[in-house]
Amino acid sequence: MSADTNGQPRIGVYVCHCGTNIAATVDVEAVAEYAAGLPGVTVSKTYKYMCSDPGQELIKEDILANQLDRVIVAACSPSLHEATFRRATAAGGINPYYFHMVSIRELDSWVHTDIVEATAKAKDLIRAAIHRVRFHKPLERARVNVNPAVMVVGGGIAGIHAALTLANAGKKVYLVEREPSIGGHMAQFDKTFPTLDCAACILTPKMTEVGQHPNITLWTMAEVDKVDGYVGNYQVTVRHKPRFIIEEACVGCMECIEVCVFRRGKTPDEFNLGLNMRKPVYIPFPQAVPQVVVIDQDACIEFRTGRCKKTCVEVCAERNAIDFTQTETFDTVEVGAIVVATGFKTFDPRRTPSYGYGVYPNVYTAMEIERLVNASGPTEGHVTLRDGRTPETVGIVHCVGSRDVNTNEHCSRVCCMYSLKLAHLVKEKTGAEIYNFYIDIRAPGKGMEEFYNRVAEEGVHFIRGKVADVYPEAGNTGRVVLQAEDTLLGRVRKIPVDMVVLATGLEAQADADEVRRTFNITCGGGGFFMERHPKLAPVSTFTDGIFLAGCCQGPKDIPDTVAQAGAAAAEALALVDKGFVEMEPNTAYVVTEECSGCKTCIPLCPYTAISRVDGKAYINPVLCKGCGTCVAACPSGSIRQNLFEDEEIYEEILGVLANA
C-alpha cells in the first residue's frame, strides 16, 4: 500500500453501459454491486455513457464528496478514453495517475455472447484493477521545450509544399534532397491529369520559391545519415555528397558544360531516363533548383585519368566554382520535427518479362513517354520510336506491377489516370490509334471521371483485359502484338502496335527500410511507411514528431500529395509552434543505488535512452517511450517502470485470479 492512502484506499468504481455496447452483454448493475463489496471500494456506480460530460462530472463530484483517492472506470479501452478519465480524475483534485481503466468492451462485451460468462469476466477484470490501484503512485508529466526548426526530407512536390508551408509560417526549414535538384518525379511529368496543366509551369515557381526562401536551407545531394534525440529535440546528421562545384560560387551560366572536353554526352541522362546522353558536367534539367551544375565523378576524365585539360576550370575563370577535391561532409542540425517525404520509385517492368521491356525496343515505360511528349524532353516533344518513325498505333498496358500477386498487390492509384493523360497527349501529337488494356478504370476524385469520358470520346480504344503476352509481329514489321483476353467480348484479342507503353506502378523506395530505421518509423505492406492511424492520424507516425507526406506513405496523385504535405506541415507546426511537449510518465527509471552497472540494459533500448553514468545505468526520461524492454531484461530488478511496477502487475494478476 502506498503511503498516502493511510491504510485502506478509497476507491471509486464506475461501470459504463456504453449504451448497449456493454450493457447488452454484461450485467453492469450486477458488476457494480459486486465491486461495491470488495475491500477498499467506497463508491460503485454504473452510468450510461461515462465519457459524456455528466459521466465525467460524476467522477469529479464523488472524489470531492467521498474523498476518493483512486478511480477505476470499466468501459471501452485506454486508447480511446484513458486520457478523458485521467482529466476527470484530475478535475476532482487528485493525481490523474490514480486512475486506472478496465476494458470491458473491447476485451469483454464485444468478444463474448454469453451474458453470465461476460459478466463474470467483467468482475474479474475489475477485481484485478482494485488490487492494482492501491499501488498507484502520483506521477507528473514532464514538459520539454521544442526546437522550432523543422527538417523536410525529400524535395519532391510533397517536400516542397511542406517546406514552403512551414517556412511561410515563419519556421526555419532544412530541406534535404539527395538528387542534385529538387523537383522529384513531378518535374519529369509533361502535363498533369485531369486538368492537363503543364507540370513544370505549376511546379517550377514553387521550386524557385524554395531556393530563394529566407527561412529555407536547401541541401541537395544530401542525405540524412543519423537521427538522434526525441520529439521536439532531434539532432539530425546530414551527409553532403560532393558535387565538385562550390554552390555559392556557381552562377548557373553552364559555360563549363559547353566547353567540356566531351563534345557530346556519353552518359545516359537520368532526368530523361537515358533517352539521351549528357556530359560529365551537367545540370539535371533547365529549371533545376539550385541552378548549379554538377560533375559526375564516374564519367569525368579528370577523375578517371587526372590528365584532363580542364577546359571547364578555365572558362569558370575567376568564379573558380569547380573544386575537384571536394569530399563528403557532414552537418548536424537541431530540429523539433521532421517531415519524411522521400517519395517512391516506379516499378521496374523487367520483373515481368512477358511485357518485353528491354527486349523489344519500342516497349516504353510511362515515365519515358512523359519525357518524349515533353517539349523540353530529348525529342523536343516529338513522340517518335527509337528508329525515328512516328507511331501509328500505340498500346497502353495498365497495372504493370500493380494489382498483381506476383509483383505488387496494391493498386498504384495514379496509373489509370496518367494512362488516359498519355493516351490523350500521344493521340494529340501523333494522331495514332491508342488501345488501353485495363483491368478496371479507376477514376475517383474530382474531375477524373469526366476526364475519362473526355478521352474516351476522343476515340481512344479501351480493351478490358490483362495483357498476357507481347511478341513481335510476323513479317519483320517492327511492330509487336499485344495479346489479351477481352473480358467484355469474351475472346482473345491480338493487336499489333508500333509502340507499347507500360503503365508501371508505384513502389516504395529501394532504401525505404534503411530510411525507416534511420527515422525509427515503421513500414506496412510493400514497404510504404506506416501512418499512426489510417483514418485519424494519417500523417503522423508512431514516433512523435516525425510526420509523413506524399508517396512514401503510399501511392497517391499530386492533389492528394499536396494536401497531405500541407497536413504534415500543419501537424509539425502544431508541435513546434506550441513550444513544448508533455511526456507521458509511463517511463522506466533506474534505482541507482540498486544498479550493479552490469550494462545488460544499455544496448537493448530501441530509443538509445540508456547510458552509463558513474558506472550506473541512467535512463533519459525524455527519450524513454516506456516500452519496458530494459525493465524485463534488468537482471537485478533495478529498473522499474511507472504504471508498470512489479507490485502493480503482480497484484493485477493475483486480483484477476483471486476467484479462479
Per CB under 8 A, residues contacting other proteins are 591, 593-600, 602-604, 612, 629, 632-638, 640, 646, 650
CB of 603 to other proteins, least distance (A): 4
Given strand 546-548, what is the order of strands in its sheet?
Answer: 216-219, 173-176, 150-153, 337-340, 546-548
Alpha-carbon gap, residue 8 to 6, rounded angstroms: 6
CB of 615 to other proteins, least distance (A): 8
Query: Phi and psi of 86, rounded to 5°?
Result: -65, -40
Give the distance from CA 157 to its chain's centroid: 15
What is the chain's alpha carbon radius of gyration, rounded to the nearest angstrom? 31
Transcribe 400-451 into DSSP letters: ETSS-TTS--S--SSHHHHHHHHHHHHHHHH--EEEEEES-----STTHHHH
- 471 or 644: whose CB is closer to other proteins? 644
Exposed / middle / buried, residue 404 (Cβ in 10 Å: 0-12, 13-18, 19+)? middle
Are 366 and 347 contacting, i.e. CB atoms less than 8 angstroms apart?
A: no
In the block, residue with C-alpha cell 475491500: 39
CB of 109 to other proteins, least distance (A): 32
- 197 or 645: whose CB is closer to other proteins? 645
CB of 641 to other proteins, least distance (A): 12
Neighbours of 366 (CB within 10 A): 24
- 380 or 593: whose CB is closer to other proteins? 593
CB of 594 to other proteins, least distance (A): 6
- 582 or 646: whose CB is closer to other proteins? 646
- 405 or 660: whose CB is closer to other proteins? 660
- 223 or 648: whose CB is closer to other proteins? 648
- 173 or 634: whose CB is closer to other proteins? 634
- Find, among 221, 249, 245, the residue nearest to 324 by Cα: 245
Alpha-carbon gap, residue 74 to 125, rounded angstroms: 9
- Find, among 115, 107, 109, 139, the residue nearest to 656 by Cα: 107
Per-residue three-class SS string for 169-238:
CCCCEEEECCCCCCCCHHHHCCEECCCCEEHHHHHHHHHHHHHHCCCEEEECCEEEEEEEEECCEEEEEE
- 517 or 599: whose CB is closer to other proteins? 599
- 46 or 642: whose CB is closer to other proteins? 642
CB of 628 to other proteins, least distance (A): 11
Are 463 and 436 contacting, i.e. CB atoms less than 8 angstroms apart?
A: yes
Neighbours of 292 (CB within 10 A): 23
- 339 or 617: whose CB is closer to other proteins? 617
- 580 or 650: whose CB is closer to other proteins? 650
- Find, among 652, 641, 643, 653, the residue nearest to 82 by Cα: 643
CB of 650 to other proteins, least distance (A): 7
CB of 608 to other proteins, least distance (A): 12
Which residues in 295-328 are b (16+ Cβ under 10 Å) and which e?
bbbebbebeeeeebebebbebbeeeebbebebee
Are 307 and 326 contacting, i.e. CB atoms less than 8 angstroms apart?
A: no
CB of 142 to other proteins, least distance (A): 24
CB of 631 to other proteins, least distance (A): 10
- 574 or 657: whose CB is closer to other proteins? 657
Give the distance from CA 425 to its chain's centroid: 32
Nine cell digits for residue 325: 577535391
CB of 315 to other proteins, least distance (A): 53
CB of 128 to other proteins, least distance (A): 18
Are 294 and 307 contacting, i.e. CB atoms less than 8 angstroms apart?
A: no
